[in-house]
Amino acid sequence: MIQNIAVIGCGTMGRGIALVFAQFGYSIELFDVNKEILNKSLSMIDKDLDKQIRRGLINLEAKETALKKIIPNTKIESILYNTDLVIEAIYEDKDAKLLLYKTIHQLVKPECIFATNTSSISITELQVNIRPELFIGMHFMNPVTIMKLVEVIKGHATSTETYEKVIEIVKSINKVPVVVNDYPGFIANRILIPMINEAIFAVYEGVASIKDIDSVMKLGANLPMGPLELADFIGLDICLNIMNVLYTGFNDPKYRPCPLLKKMVAAKKLGKKSGEGFYKY
């Protein structure tokens, strides 16, 4: 039975994953090597719970109970041996992820499940040599506290038992698991990010203004947020990383990242998190 969960990386996704599991009674170890980022993450979790109180979704007691379930830590070497599930949510770099798994593998019990929140990297490539039968993809959507979907991705060697346990744990936190085969970008980002990339090409080619492109897609396709505004929300660096994974994985020119996207990332105009992307914040 899964009860003790370690979440590695406390950016937007990591802290959201930790909060959701804590609110459903799981014991959470939240790790990040950067103490400043970890403290900021805990502050954001506190604010998120306050928002839920204001909206009447929880009471003060529920907030305090959830916070007590989250133990922050900057030293991965102190991860508890009795951890049942590790969820990795660090940045999208295959080599960094593999190095992390190798370290954790030596610290946790043999039956501990490894899950990655990667948004595009092959699960089969990530599970090589690190208890592959216990390795799986759990791709949460942002914001984690609101979005119901979790893409569950089986690698080539993922066991049926591991897959069934992960399906159940996703259901236990009131999320909807959708089974996806292991192809670059899975489903959500294989469809979403190329659409964003095409919208960026429309800006690059001068088809219309940023605002008008977003207006067309909101009013004409009934999207809650225009693709360029959404790119800013996701982070242009993340969009570029995913396009590169698709481009390399499929070897198909239709996934070529727009030169404007690459230029904006090089200029550190990453969207909302940097204060400027296609819009200013």
**Which residues are marked as active site?**
119, 139, 151, 189
Question: Distance (Å, rounded) from C-alpha 94 to C-alpha 258?
Answer: 22
Q: 135-141 contacts: CB < 8 A, separation 24 or more? A: 135/162, 136/162, 136/163, 136/166, 137/180, 137/182, 137/186, 138/87, 138/166, 138/170, 139/180, 139/186, 139/188, 140/13, 140/16, 140/17, 140/175, 141/188
Six-digit token string for 210: 């940023």
Both tokens assigned to 5: 């969960």
Task: Tell me the C-alpha distance between 270 and 247, whole Å.
Answer: 20
